[in-house]
Amino acid sequence: MTQEVLNTVIIGSGPAGWTAAIYACRSGLSPVLVSGPEVGGQLTTTPEIGNWPGRKDAPDGFSLMKTLQEHAVSLGTKMLSDTVTKVDFSQEIKEVTLSSGDVLKTKTVIIATGAKARYLGLPSEEIYKGKGISACATCDGFFFRNKEVAVVGGGSAAFVEALYLTNMCKKVYLIHRREGFRSEKVMVDKLRSMVDSGKVEFILNAQITEFKGDGNKLSGVELDVKGQKKELALDGVFVAIGHAPATSIFEGQLELDNGYIKTGFGSDTATSVKGVFAAGDCADMVYRQAITSAGEGCKAALDAEKYLLG
Ligand SMILES: Cc1cc2nc3c(=O)[nH]c(=O)nc-3n(C[C@H](O)[C@H](O)[C@H](O)COP(=O)(O)OP(=O)(O)OC[C@H]3O[C@@H](n4cnc5c(N)ncnc54)[C@H](O)[C@@H]3O)c2cc1C
């Protein structure tokens, strides 16, 4: 029996994946969505989303993503609770292999596999993620208005986060394990200019060795500063040491940039292979927001539809 060739396979069930599915359904593409290991994506771990337009009630991430899933499924999206282990994009009809061993054949693929923030890897960090530890100042900075926070890192991302937080927090510490920074000088100078007023403090040659708190809320950190143990009381810690896109299965198949899928080959979400599109954090090293991912998911479905029309 010949296997059915699908119009569109969507890989990932975060905001990008579900939005792509909603648009693909409405365009009559009958998409199949492979959910991956984390149904709903990164947002499902966060208790409060305060910046999803139209939801001033700030729902928890799990409930919000459930509404996207229900919308996409109600329109006819077929969801497979599986993970993609291999892809072959060398032919016009693409092959997507699942961990079950099944192989999907499809004319187009929309990749929405997301990215993960890198954390320090301390056991106490796991306790306080979402309870004082965050990896996204744009997402969570608002919850730390007039509070004392630290940003960990020495690259551009850390300086962007720190500068953003100075707009709302009482004090921002920048904790970095070295003396020098990998960020642009202009951003370093801007943050430094706030040191004299006491708004900003640099703690250099320092590493967090322990996150402290009562188990429900972070209260500070223990530091190793040039071999000396120190304690610092804090309301929040923003870890800004980079992100890792979930794109290893696409290596050798698509052009990547630092692990992020390169797009813009003819349309916004088109990758280096015709018929393969990418949306959301897996292709975005700049914005990394739920709403921008959803927007890219919309674009990817429209781009796939246009490709199929020829
Ligand atoms: C704690 C936390 C709080 C946040 N808070 C906010 C916020 O308040 N507001 C905001 O706008 N943004 C927030 N963000 C950022 C936001 O979650 C991301 O920008 C957004 O989820 C990215 O969406 P995405 O669809 O690109 O990918 P993700 O949400 O990362 O989803 C990726 C999907 O791909 C799947 N997948 C991965 N690999 C495979 C594979 N091999 N096969 C099949 N499927 C696969 C996963 O299972 C998952 O379903 C937060 C992030 C975190 C971690």
Query: Residue 55 maps to which CATH number?
Result: 3.50.50.60
Name every residue whose Cβ is closer than 8 Å to that of residue 80 and which is 6 or more positions away in sequence: 32, 33, 34, 35, 98
Instruction: Measure the CA–CA gap between 38 and 45, rounded to whole angstroms.
Output: 10
* CA-angle at 297, arms to 291 and 300, nearest 5°: 145
Composition of the chain by helix, strand, coil, percent to 5: 30, 30, 40
Pick the atom of ligand 1 nearest to 36's CA: 44
Candidate list 139, 169, 282, 298, residue with the active-site label: 139
Does the CB atom of residue 83 touch ligand 1 within 6 A? yes
pLDDT band (50, 70, 90) for residue 76: very high
Q: Which of 218, 239, 260 is the last residue of a domain?
A: 239
Ligand 1 centre from 96 Cα, in Å? 21
Q: How many domains does the chain have?
A: 2
104 and 161 co-located in one domain: no
Comparing CA positions, the residue from 297, 295, 238, 291 lying closest to residue 50 is 291
152 and 17 co-located in one domain: no
Instruction: Check pLDDT > 70 for residue 116.
Output: yes
Buried b (16+ CB within 10 A) or exposed e, 125-145: bebbbebbbbbbbebbbebbe
Instruction: Measure the CA–CA gap between 110 and 31, rounded to whole angstroms.
Output: 10
Q: What is the pLDDT of residues 262-279, one digit of tens each?
A: 999 999 999 999 999 999
Q: Which pLDDT does position 220 carry in this prediction?
A: 98
The residue segments making up the domain with residue 197 are 119-239
Q: Which pLDDT does position 182 carry in this prediction?
A: 86
Q: What is the pLDDT of residues 183-229, one digit of tens each?
A: 889 999 999 999 999 999 999 999 999 999 999 999 999 999 999 99
Ligand 1 centre from 250 Cα, in Å? 18
Candidate list 25, 82, 140, 281, residue with the active-site label: 140
272 and 228 co-located in one domain: no
Q: What is the pLDDT of residues 123-176, one digit of tens each?
A: 999 999 999 999 999 889 999 999 999 999 999 889 989 999 999 999 999 999
Q: Is 140 a catalytic residue?
A: yes
75 and 175 co-located in one domain: no
Give me the mean pLDDT over the 6-33 stretch. 98
Ligand 1 centre from 52 Cα, in Å? 14
E strands along 93-189, which residues? 94-98, 103-111, 115-117, 133-134, 148-152, 171-175
pLDDT band (50, 70, 90) for residue 2: low
Instruction: Check pLDDT > 90 for residue 25.
Output: yes
pLDDT band (50, 70, 90) for residue 89: very high
Instruction: Measure the CA–CA gap between 209 and 201, rounded to whole angstroms.
Output: 19
